[in-house]
Amino acid sequence: MSTLELRPDISPVPQVVKSKRMPPVIRGILWSAIGFLVINTLISYVLDPRYGHPFITQVSITFGWFAAMVGWVLGVGAWEGAVLPAFGHHGTLYTAPGWKRFFEYSTEHKVIGLQYIGSSAGGFFIAGLAAMLMRLELMNNSMWLFNYPQQYLTTVGIHGTIMMFSVGTVALVGGLGNYLVPLMIGSNTSAFPRMSGISVLLVPFGIVTVALSPLLGYWSTGWRGYEPLASQDPSGILFYYLGVFALTLSSLLVSINLTATVIFKRAPGMTWGRLPMFAWGITTVSLLNIIWLPEIQLTFVMSLVNRLVPLPLFTATGSPLTYMELFWLFGHPEVYIVVVPALALWQEIIPVMTRKPLFARQWGVIGLIFVMMLSGFVWAHHMFTNMRNVEMMPFSFFTEMISIPTGFAYLVALGTLWRGRLKFNTVSLLVLMSMFNFLIGGMTGVFLADPIINLQAHDTFFVVGHFHYTIIGGMVFSWLAAMYYWLPKMSGRMYNERLGKIGAIWIFLAFNLTFSQFFLLGLHGMNRWVSVYPSYLQPMNFETSIFAFLLGLGFLFHLVHIWWAWRAGQKAEGNPWESKSVEWITASPPAEESFPVIPRIVSSTYTYDNDEPAVIIPSDGKRVATTS
């Protein structure tokens, strides 16, 4: 049992100066507005004036947006925190007490992690609202909620874009990764804390950009930005490119930071063979990000320039296919960027809950790495309708192959569960639900990998059901499990077990009743990307929508429950799950300096078959400075 726990030193409380400064977020918005006005005006009135002197042109808003982004990042605190020090100016870095730390620039990985989680949750509920509007519109087979078809398509696009780039890619990597990886490997900081402090600020900026895209005109491409449709779309597509640029840049910086952290910041004894599964998951996913995010950013920059100059990219015969290839080269690894950390979370949580050593750990790691590698070989299965038969076969083959390393994750989880005495609580319930949902998502994926079925089900709700099973079912359920599991660590408080279980069962039923019907709708002929559909599909769509609303309410229920537990839940013990993992030897919540003495890892942290601690605090360990 690792009953060891470090309490932070009782250091003198810093004196809170009563003099006020402008709230950093407000200053960021102000600087952002100034940056936008100056650059936008310069371009639209001086450098590139257009007939009739419109204040906003496509060119001016693009450059104005970049100025606004810089203004926002500097205004929130990067000016004092990163720019001035880079020029050798050692000013004073102000911090605010309490919850206000989360609303300003910070270099502390735990604050940044929670900022990422908060931003992701914000994106989740904004995009969730968009989903509710879509389901409301689809309750009737005519246009009754939206005035124009483009409004529906824009809503679909905003939903997909924000969910993929600010939730799927971000919540587990930028959020839990930033919070947990340094703690799990026994480090007080991440490798590049200032870069990390800046990168998190890009997430809310990107979300707001995409959410406000209709102000520039409705766009109809969805999160894929297909050409040449995008080049013909109204200007709202600009905010899609720009918002996604901010969000992907953020994820890229996270990945560089966390990869370096895992390589260089491990505590003594934390060998690669002992690296926790979640840290492995974050490492593999970060490598995927580092490979594929620059690729998609370049593609979007090409599309943006294509529009602004304008250039004839992607419009010549055959070129639209080039765009699709470029998009899905990133687009399919993206799916694994979303899901691999979730697989790692199962393997992190199940040994603790079953009190058994992790089964076949090496195969788990191999699975994660092979998923990462194979994910680059499957992209064209999104384009079977645009290919010759002979070209489909290798992609069909690799797509079916990738279920093998994914299966390793299942075997590791099942082997650990086998004959274990599972603690049946909200956390393990959500993990089991996630495994069930992802299994459905994966099995329907095997069907879709088969060209014969794919060509029939292509662009129907069958596909929509499939990927929602993998992403909500796999990733969002695991995210919730992780939030409950590490809630005592993050807040020092415990959730209510009964409410947690009610919430878990609620979303499990609502989720399955919604998305299993998507499969049936798809097989009956319900197309994606349409707000008006044949009337025989209306009754099923109507009741599917009702379950979708229940699902939305279920997620709100969890939000309120976690919020309440965070503030008013019962005080938790230091290590309520009796985990051997390194993060639990810190105080809950950890002090700014998580480890006053850097711990030493002496065995695997999954050895639940003995009572020897996996982590010791060296008695001769030197005290480390906060900012080493």
Partner 1 sequence: MANEEPQEKKKVEVDWSRRQFLIGTGALTVVGLGAMFLNEPVAAAVRSVFGQQPESGPITVLQGDYFYIPNYMTWRVGDQISMTIHNTSTTHFHEMQIGRGFNTMPTALQTIRTQFAEDFWKGVPVTITAAQGIDNFVTNEAKISSDVHPTPWLLTQPGNGGFSPTMKPGGQITLSFTVPNKPGIWHYACFVQGYMHWLAGMRGTINILPA
Q: Which residues bind partner 1 (CB under 8 A)?
A: 14-26, 29, 50-52, 54, 58, 85-86, 90-97, 100, 103, 107, 147-150, 189, 191-195, 208, 211-212, 214-215, 217-218, 231-235, 307, 310, 625, 627
CA atoms within a 13 Å half-sphere pointing along the CA-CB vector of 407: 7
In the complex, what is the shortest distance from the CB of residue 140 to partner 1, in angstroms, rounded to a whole number? 15
- Output the smallest distance, CB 218 to partner 1, in A: 7
Residues 6+ apart with CB under 8 A from 153: 218, 219, 220, 221, 222, 529, 531
- Least gap, CB of 165 to partner 1 (angstroms): 19
Residue number, 22 or 316, with CB nearest to partner 1: 22
Per-residue CA distances from 146 to 135, 238, 429, 433, 531 (Å): 12, 22, 39, 35, 9
Task: Name which of 50 and 571 has its Cβ closer to partner 1.
Answer: 50
Q: From the CB of 104, what's the least distance to partner 1, in Å? A: 8
Of the two residues 192 and 566, which places its CB atom closer to partner 1 in the complex? 192
Cβ closest to partner 1, residue 57 vs residue 544: 57
- Give per-residue burial for 10-38: e unless 16+ CB within 10 Å, then b: eeeeeeeeeeeeeebbebbbebbeebbee
In the complex, the smallest distance separating the C-beta of residue 623 from partner 1, rounded to whole angstroms, is 15
Closest CB to partner 1 among residues 19, 317: 19
Tokens at 387, concatenated:
């290919």
- Shortest Cβ 391–partner 1 spacing (Å): 32
In eight-state DSSP terms, residue 528 is: S
The owner of tokens 């603790």 is 352
Q: Residue 601: phi, psi to the nearest 5?
A: -95, 125
- Burial, 511: exposed, middle or buried (Cβ in 10 Å; 0-12, 13-18, 19+)? buried
Looking at the DSSP bridge assignments, the partners of residue 616 are 600
Q: Which helix (H) or strand (E) element contains residue 348?
A: helix 319-354
Smallest separation (angstroms) from partner 1 to the CB of 304: 13
Residue 602: CB minimum distance to partner 1, A: 29
Residue 517 CB: number of other CB atoms within 10 A?
21
The span from the CA of 326 to the CA of 276, in Å, is 34
Shorter beta-carbon distance to partner 1: residue 182 or 442: 182
Query: Shortest Cβ distance from residue 158 to partner 1 (Å)?
Result: 10
* Residue number with CB closer to partner 1 (189 or 347): 189
Residue 541, token pair as written in the block:
């769509």
> In 3-state terms, what secondary structure has residue 325?
helix
Token pair in block for residue 498: 């009964």
* Three-state secondary structure call for residue 243: helix
Cα separation of 61 and 40, whole Å? 6
Is the Cβ of residue 220 or residue 478 nearer to partner 1 in the bound state? 220
Q: Could you give the count of Cα atoms lying within 13 Å of 177 in the half-sphere of its Cβ?
A: 37
Would you say 22 or 393 has its CB closer to partner 1? 22
Q: How far apart are CA 316 and CA 312, in angstroms?
A: 7
Question: Least distance from C-beta 516 to partner 1, angstroms?
Answer: 30
Q: With respect to partner 1, which residue has the nearer C-beta, 82 or 282?
A: 82
Residue 529: which residues within 8 A CB-CB, separation 6 or more? 153, 156, 222, 459
Omega into 310 within 30° of 0, i.e. cis?
yes
Long-range contacts of 566-571 (CB under 8 A, 24+ apart): 566/487, 566/490, 566/491, 566/493, 567/493, 568/493, 569/487, 569/491, 569/493, 569/494, 569/495, 569/496, 570/493, 570/494, 571/492, 571/493, 571/494
Closest separation in Å from C-beta 22 to partner 1: 7
- The residue among 147 and 389 lying less far from partner 1, judged by its C-beta, is 147
